[in-house]
Structure 1
Amino acid sequence: MEQNIGPVAGPAGLYVHIPFCLGKCSYCAFVSWPCRRPPAGYPAALLSQARQLAALPWSRQRCFTTIFIGGGTPTMYPAAVLNELLAELRQLFAISPAAEISLEANPDTLRPELLAELRRGGFNRISLGVQSFTDELLQKIGRRHDAVGARQAVAWARQAGFANLNLDLIYGLPGQSRRQWAADLAVALELAPEHLAIYQLTPEEETPLGRAVAAGELVLPDQDLCAEFEQDARRSLLTAGYEHYEVANYCRPGYACRHNLNYWHNGSYLGLGAAAVSCLAGLRLMNVASPGRYRRLLAAGRAPYAEAEALGLAASFRETVIMGLRLRRGLRLAELEQRFALTPRHYYGTILDELIAQGLLVMDHERIALSERGFALANQVLHRLV
C-alpha cells in the first residue's frame, strides 16, 4: 500500500542503479562491476539512501510516476530481493498506482520462475539487452547470451505476463553487414516488442573494443554504412507500425518509455545507487561510483554524494532544449517561456536562424523541432546548440 504523504507538487521519476554484471561487455563504458555474485548488502544500502531522500520536503511533495531499476544486470539478484526493494520504495515514496515500473535484464540471467515472480511483485515493463540476434556478432562484443537465449527470454517474459517489453539493439558492430542487420530487424519484428531502442556502437577509448579498433584488430562499418543501417531500421519499423518518437527509440502507439520521457523533458528524478544521479529542480547530485564506498558511507549515516551542481537558468534552458529536441515532437515554445522566461529565438539568435535556413530545424508559433533531415543528423545539430 502506498504511503499517504500529503500534497503533491509535481510528478517525478525514481532510478535505481544496480551496477553488477556476470561479465563486462567489450564495448561497455558504463559504471558496472563484473562479479560472480552481487554483494548481499547492496540492496540494504539502496534503501538507506532511499530513506535519506524520502525525508526531504522535496520528495514528500512529489508523486513518482515511474521507477526504473537498471544496471548493470539487476536480475543477478533473486526476484525476492528485487520485489522486496520495490515494496520498500512503495512505502517510502508516493508511487502512482498507474506507475510504469521497469526492470533491465540480460537474457542469460532470466528463468521462467524468476520472471513470473517479478511480474507478481509489481514490475510491469522489462527491458532486455539483446543487442543482436547474430551469434557471430554477439561473440565479437563479449555478450554472454546467444540468439536462441534471447528468443527464449522474450517468450518467458510474455508467459510471465509482461505486456510492455523493450528490446535494445546495436548496429555498427565489428564486421556487421547490411544483410546481418536486416536479419536482426526481422527477428525483432517477429518478436513484436512494444518498444525498441536502437543505438549505433560507439567505440570508447577506455574499453577493450575501443582499444582493439584503435589497434586495427577490429574494423567497424564506416559512417556511410551506419547511416544505411539507421535508415533500414527506420524504414522497417515505420512500415511495421512503430512510431519513431525519439532519435534512438521506437514504440507501438502508447508505449513510449515514460521514465525516459521525463529525462528528455529535463524533469525531476531521484537516483539511488552507486554512480546514480538525482536532479531536483536544477540541483544535480551524483553518487560515488564505487559500490563499496557507497555502502560504507551509508552505513556510517552519511550521504553518498561525490559531487553536486546547481544549474543556472541559462544552463537549465539550454539542457532542456537539447534534450527536448531529441523527441520527434520537439518542444512547445509556450512551455519553455513559462518555465524559463526565455525563448530559443532570444537565446540562440543567429545560430537558430542558420539551422532553420539549412533545413535542420523547423519552428512555428507553437513548437520548435528537428526537421526530417535534422532528425537524421541529430547529434551534429544538437552539438551546435550546446
Structure 2
Amino acid sequence: MTSSLYIHIPFCSAKCSYCSFNSYAGLEGLQSRYVECLCAEMENVASSGGVESLKTVFLGGGTPSVLPGDLSGKIITTYRNCFSAMQDVEISMEINPGTVDMAKLDFLHVAGVNRISFGVQSFIDKELRSIGRIHTAEEAVVAVSMAGNAGYENVSLDLMYGLPGQTTASWHQSLETAISLGVKHLSLYQLTVEEGTPLQQMMYGGTIQLPGEDELAAMDNITRKLTDSAGLRQYEISNYAKTGYQCRHNITYWENNEYLGVGAGAVSCVRRSRKRNIADPVEYCDRIEAGKSVVIEEENLDIEASFRETVIMALRLNSGFSLPGLTERYGINALDYYGATLENLIRDGFVEQHAGMIALTDRGRGFANLVMSELV
C-alpha cells in the first residue's frame, strides 16, 4: 500500500543556470488555475483508493514557496480532506530563502508543514550569482533564523559543491556556516552539468571554470571532517542528519517503496507500475479541466527489474539492503542472483556483507556509480 505523497509545484521566480527540473519562471498568472487542477487531481486519486494513512508528504518543485499563502493552504487542506495521515506525518516543503518572510513561515507552520528544506546552495554571494540564485547569503541566514522562531525543529539545507569558481576554502566556509546555524539535516550535492542547461552552454563556451577532480576530492574530505565533528551522520550518499532527522520521504524512494505523485511532471510508482504525468503545466490544466488523464507514460516493471532497481536504490543508503528482506519481497536471493559479480565487489572492498546486510564501503561510496553499473 502507498503511504507517501509527492506534490509538484512547477513555478519559480527565476530558472537557475544548472536546473533541469520541471520548473518555469514567469507563470504567476497560472498559479491559481494550476492549484485548482492540482487539488482536482488529488481528489481523483483519492477516490480510486489504494492509499493507506500517509507517513510522508513532500511539496517540491520548482519553488513551492513562491505560491501565495492562500494557495499553499488550499493544497494542504485538500490533501488532508482527501487522505488520512499518521499522527506523526512528515510534511516537507522546499523553500527558496528569497521567497519567504516571517508571516509566510508562520502560516505554513500553522497549516501543518513541519519540515523545511531550504535551497541555499552556497553561503558565498559570488557563487550564488554564478548559478543564478535569487537570494543572498545573508537572506539565507535570516531565513533559517526565522524558521526557528516560527517553531520549525526539522530544518534541512541544500548545498552544492563543484560550483563555478568555487574553492576548497569557500566550500569549507559555506559548510561551516550551514553547520553553525544548528540545522538537523544537510543535503550536499556535487554539481552536475545537465544537458541543455545554460550552465552547460557557459561551460562549453569557456566562460566558467569548474573545480577539478583533485579539488572535488578535497571538498569531499572537508565534508566528512565537518559533518562528523558536528554529529551529522551520513545516511545516504548525499545526505547527513542528526539522529532521528533523516528525510523519511526520500527514504521511501531509496527503499523503492510505493509512492504517489500529483501535479505536472510528477511520477507515481504503485504495484511496480510507474506512471508519469504530462510536464507542461498549461497542458496539465487543460487535461484536468477536460476530464482527461494527465498520465502520458507508464512502465510496468517485472519482478527482476524491480528487484535490481531496489538493490541499486538501497545501495545509496549507508545501511544498504537486507538480504532476507529482498528474498521475502521478491523471492530472489541476491547472493545467488549476482554470483561472481557481487563476490568480486566484496573481495575488492567496494561492498561489504554484515549481519544480513549488503552495503557500500567507504571506498565503494567513492565509486558508487561504477559499483551500481555492475549490478544494474
> TM class, shorter-chain normalised?
over 0.9
Alignment partner, residue 260 of structure 1: 250
Q: Distance in 1 between matches of 2:29 and 2:126?
A: 29
The answer to whether residue 342 in structure 2 is matched with residue 352 in structure 1 is yes
The residue identity in structure 1 corresponding to 2:5 is L
CA displacement at 1:376 relative to structure 2: 2.5
| Deviations 1:102-131, CA, capped at 9 Å, x for gaps | 011101101100000110111100100000
Partner of 2:40: 48
**Contact 2:118–2:156, Cα closer than 8 Å, also in 1:** yes
2-structure distance, mates of 1:368, 1:343: 12
Could you list the per-position Cα deviations for residues 233-252 of structure 1 after superposition, in whole angstroms to 9, with x for gaps in the alignment?
12110111111000000001
1:17 aligns with 2:8: yes
Q: Which residue of 1 aligns with 2:373?
A: 383
Pair 1:229-2:219 in alignment: yes
SS of 1:41's equivalent in the other structure is helix
Amino acid at match of 2:70: A
How big is each residue's C-alpha offset from its partner over 1:126-150, in whole Å with a ceiling of 9 and x where there is no partner?
Answer: 1000000000111111111110110
**Aligned residue for 2:190?**
200
Q: Is the 1:47–1:85 Cα contact (8 Å) retained in structure 2? A: yes
Could you tell me how far 1:377 is from its partner in structure 2?
2.1
Corresponding residue to 2:180 among 179, 190, 193:
190
Q: Structure 1 CA distance, aligned partners of 2:78 and 2:40?
A: 11
Please, which of 319, 325, 337 is the counterpart of residue 335 of structure 1? Answer: 325
**Equivalent residue number for residue 34 of structure 1:** 25
CA distance in 2, matches of 1:12, 1:333: 24
CA shift in 2, pair 1:220/1:38, >3 Å: farther
Measure, in 1, the Cα distance between the counterparts of 2:2 and 2:233: 25
Match of 2:49 in 1: 57
Partner residue of 1:118 out of 75, 88, 108: 108
Greater Cα shift, 31-40 or 46-55: 31-40
Counterpart in the other structure of 2:123: 133
Contact 1:333 1:365 in 2 (8 A): no
Structure 1 contact 20–38 (Cα < 8 Å) conserved: no
Matched residue SS, 2:54:
strand
1: CA distance, partners of 2:224 / 2:84:
38
- Aligned-partner Cα distance in 2 for 1:349–1:328: 22
Is 1:313 the counterpart of 2:297 in the alignment? Answer: no
Alignment of 1:74-223 (within 5 A): 74-223=64-213
CA deviation after TM superposition for structure 1 residue 152, in Å: 0.8
TM-score, with structure 2 as normaliser: 0.98
Unaligned stretches of 5+ residues in structure 2: none
Secondary structure, in 3 states, of the residue corresponding to 1:170? Answer: strand
Supply the distance in 1 between the matched residues of 2:334 and 2:326 (Cα, whole angstroms).
Answer: 8
Q: 1:55: Cα distance to partner? A: 1.5
CA displacement 1:301-336 (0-9 Å, x = unmatched): 112011001111011000100000111111111110
SS for the counterpart of 2:365 is helix
Q: Is the Cα–Cα contact under 8 Å of residues 11 and 27 in structure 2 kept in the other structure?
A: no
Q: Specify the SS of the correspondent of 1:57.
A: coil
Partner SS for 2:50 = helix
Q: Normalized against structure 1, the TM-score is what?
A: 0.95
Alpha-carbon RMSD across the aligned residues, in angstroms, is 1.1
How big is the shift at 1:383? Answer: 2.1
CA distance in 1, matches of 2:26, 2:99: 13
Which residue is equivalent to 1:4?
Answer: none
Q: How many residues align?
A: 375
- Higher mean alpha-carbon deviation, 220-229 vs 164-173, is at 220-229
Write out the 4+ residue segments of structure 1 that deviate beyond 6 Å after TM superposition.
none
Show the counterpart of 2:273: 283
Letter in 2 for 1:18: I
Task: Report the CA distance between 1:357 and its aligned residue.
Answer: 1.3
What letter is aligned with 2:267? V
The answer to whether 1:269 aligns with 2:262 is: no
Secondary structure of 1:197's aligned partner = strand
In the alignment, is the contact (CA less than 8 A) between 2:2 and 2:50 conserved in 1? no
In structure 1, list runs of 5 or more residues that go unmatched: 1-9
What SS is found at the alignment partner of 2:202?
helix
- Please state whether the residue corresponding to 2:364 is helix, strand or coil: helix
Instruction: Give me the whole-angstrom Cα distance separating, in 2, the residues matched to 1:208 and 1:288.
Output: 23
Residue in 2 that maps onto 1:300: 290
1:66 match: 56
Aligned partner (choices 234, 238, 260) of residue 248 of structure 1: 238
